[in-house]
């Protein structure tokens, strides 16, 4: 339904009570920022840092030498470790550094004690010891310090570790190079400030060079996993997007990795793309123009949940963009996959799918029709009566977006699918924002009914499902916009005239309501 200047139009009311003048494009963006960012922050923080609890390989040591080293390090205290590291004897430094690595691999590592002892600058200096790869390897335990709190990561950065680790990316020893990749991933994953520092110091080129091999499957599995994960952290936009020139550099490699067959590689690559699409339309376009959307859509049908979740997030972000960007997703066949996503047993998947559909419904009428043609409306109408409350809210947004942009015929179909009762039932949820959104949706449907002269039938339908009682109860709601919106709905569509002309009261039939049209013949409507 098109927006007009009438103050009582659906768009005007929606703007007045919810968006305060924002157009539909801005509404899409607001939905992303307000609703998704909160979910995203909680989910992604679990994967931004990884601790290494395995032993570092050491090809230079014989089994006898390794046993001798272990005997000297197993029971070392932090104080003994500090003394050994501060000595001038390389063997003592090596054993003490190995002891520190083992301390930092514990379930509750004494990270703060190590930091207070001033060992980070020592470890950083050991990283540059090209004459002793073993002490370089053991000093890479800085990875575990960087996996700690932001303050602990800051201590690693302040100690000069970023350029030291970038230098080690080119190490001839794969396990040392991998530790450098891992450490840089932990640092970049801490914050956008540290991410940008890692990029500024020049990490992107050597990281991409490590993946510039004829067949990435030739890389050790763990190494490839860490490289992909670190790239995803360089794309992360917790507070602000990464530099666009870096995004352009990284994107071709991500597109390549998205066709790999390793589930962990696919998952981290999808997360990287989901981060990059969570931005302005120009940034979304950078991703879309790579031609990656069809592969993302394909991954929506994956059996592995860790792949489906970020692939779904990336698609969800893309459809917050322009209508043209949304159409790319539709053209890639995404709508055919949504019935299974909307009925998935995992609440998470259902909620994200409903959110994505709400943004597709904020698009053009032909895009709404494509969702109708794929049979998605009954699925969405069923969500408010079956799903958890968070998913119900997303479904209500989808319905409201549909009513804002849909044609009269599309509105009639929505009502036929039974949207009124589950929507009106949610008026008792005591959620001000969702209450306003529901009232706007119902008001928009009434406007469509007005065009068909069928408001009375709609009023009766709403009254029969208890919707009028719930709307009247909102007169006691403390929120003024809710009070005004409910009052407007009641006064406009449910007020009974004092005198009613019995000659024009419609008679009930088995098919609906009959009424007299101008030529005197009876007709039936089925809104």
Helices (H), 86-191: 90-104, 111-116, 120-127, 133-139, 142-146, 150-158, 161-168, 174-190
pLDDT (tens digit per residue) in 331-376: 999 999 999 999 999 999 999 999 999 999 999 999 999 999 999 9
- The low-confidence residues of the chain, meaning pLDDT below 70, are 1-47, 52-76, 496-527
| Residues in a beta bridge with 514 | 507, 524
According to the model, what pLDDT value does residue 433 have? 95
Quote the tokens at residue 338. Answer: 């949504």
Question: Any idea what the Cα angle at residue 221 is, between residues 217 and 224, rounded to 5°?
Answer: 75
Contact criterion met (CB below 8 Å) for 320 and 31: yes
Count Cα neighbours of 77 within 13 Å in the Cβ-side half-sphere. Answer: 2
| Pairing of the two strands 507-509 and 512-516 | antiparallel
| Angle CA 170–175–177, to nearest 5 | 25
Burial of 290 (0-12, 13-18, 19+ CB in 10 A): middle
- pLDDT value of position 295: 98
Backbone angles phi, psi at 519, to 5 degrees: -85, 5
Query: What pLDDT sits at residue 7?
Result: 42
For residue range 153-183, what is the model confidence (pLDDT) as tens digits? 999 999 999 999 999 999 999 999 999 999 9
C-alpha 338/C-alpha 206 separation (Å) is 39
Residues 179, 137: Cα–Cα separation, whole Å: 8
Q: What is the pLDDT of residue 496?
A: 63
pTM of the predicted structure, to 2 decimals: 0.81
Classify each residue of 424-462 as buried b or exposed e, where b means 16 or more C-beta atoms within 10 Å of its C-beta. bbbbeeebebbbbbbbbbbbbbbbbbeeeebbbbbbebb
CA–CA distance, 226 with 240 (Å, rounded to integer) = 23
């Amino acid at each position: 339904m098109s927006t007009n200047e009438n103050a009582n139009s659906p768009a005007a009311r929606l703007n007045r009570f919810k968006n305060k003048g924002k157009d539909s494009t801005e509404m899409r963006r607001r939905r992303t920022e307000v609703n998704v960012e909160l979910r995203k922050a909680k989910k992604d923080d679990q994967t931004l840092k990884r601790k290494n609890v395995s032993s570092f390989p050491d090809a230079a040591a014989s089994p006898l030498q390794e046993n001798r080293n272990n005997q000297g390090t197993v029971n070392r205290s932090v104080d003994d470790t500090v003394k050994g590291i501060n000595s001038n004897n390389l063997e003592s430094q090596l054993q003490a550094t190995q002891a520190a690595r083992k301390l930092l691999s514990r379930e509750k590592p004494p990270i703060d004690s190590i930091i207070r002892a001033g060992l980070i600058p020592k470890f950083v200096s050991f990283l540059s010891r090209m004459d002793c790869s073993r002490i370089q390897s053991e000093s890479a335990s800085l990875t575990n310090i960087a996996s700690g709190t932001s303050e602990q990561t800051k201590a690693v950065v302040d100690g000069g570790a970023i350029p030291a680790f970038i230098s080690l990316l080119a190490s001839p020893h794969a396990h040392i190079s991998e530790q450098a990749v891992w450490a840089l991933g932990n640092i970049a994953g801490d914050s956008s400030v540290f991410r940008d520092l890692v990029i500024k110091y020049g990490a992107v080129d050597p990281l991409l060079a490590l993946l510039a091999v004829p067949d990435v499957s030739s890389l050790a599995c763990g190494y490839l996993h860490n490289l992909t994960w670190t790239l995803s952290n360089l794309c992360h936009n917790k507070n602000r997007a990464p530099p666009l020139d870096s995004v352009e550099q990284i994107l071709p490699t991500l597109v390549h990795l998205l066709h790999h067959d390793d589930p962990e590689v696919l998952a981290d690559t999808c997360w990287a793309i989901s981060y990059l699409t969570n931005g302005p339309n120009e940034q979304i376009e950078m991703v879309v123009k790579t031609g990656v959307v069809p592969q993302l859509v394909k991954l929506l049908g994956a059996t592995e949940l860790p792949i489906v979740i970020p692939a779904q997030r990336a698609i969800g972000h893309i459809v917050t963009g322009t209508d043209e960007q949304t159409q790319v997703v539709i053209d890639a066949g995404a709508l055919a996959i949504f019935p299974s996503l909307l009925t998935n047993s995992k609440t998470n998947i259902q909620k994200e799918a409903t959110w994505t559909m709400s943004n597709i419904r904020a698009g053009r009428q032909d895009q709404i029709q494509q969702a109708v043609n794929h049979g998605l409306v009954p699925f969405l109408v069923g969500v408010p009566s079956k799903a958890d409350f968070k998913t119900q809210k997303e479904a209500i947004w989808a319905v409201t977006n549909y009513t804002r942009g849909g044609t009269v015929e599309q509105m009639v179909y929505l009502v036929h699918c039974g949207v009124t009762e589950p929507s009106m039932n949610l008026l008792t949820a005591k959620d001000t924002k969702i209450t306003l959104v529901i009232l706007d949706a119902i008001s928009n449907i009434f406007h469509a009914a007005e065009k068909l002269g069928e408001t009375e039938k709609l009023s009766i339908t709403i009254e029969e499902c208890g919707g009028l009682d719930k709307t009247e109860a909102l007169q006691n709601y403390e929120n003024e916009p809710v009070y005004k919106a409910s009052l407007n709905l009641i006064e406009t569509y449910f007020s009974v005239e004092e005198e009613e002309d019995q000659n024009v009261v419609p008679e009930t039939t088995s098919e609906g309501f009959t009424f007299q049209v101008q030529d005197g013949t009876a007709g039936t409507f089925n809104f």
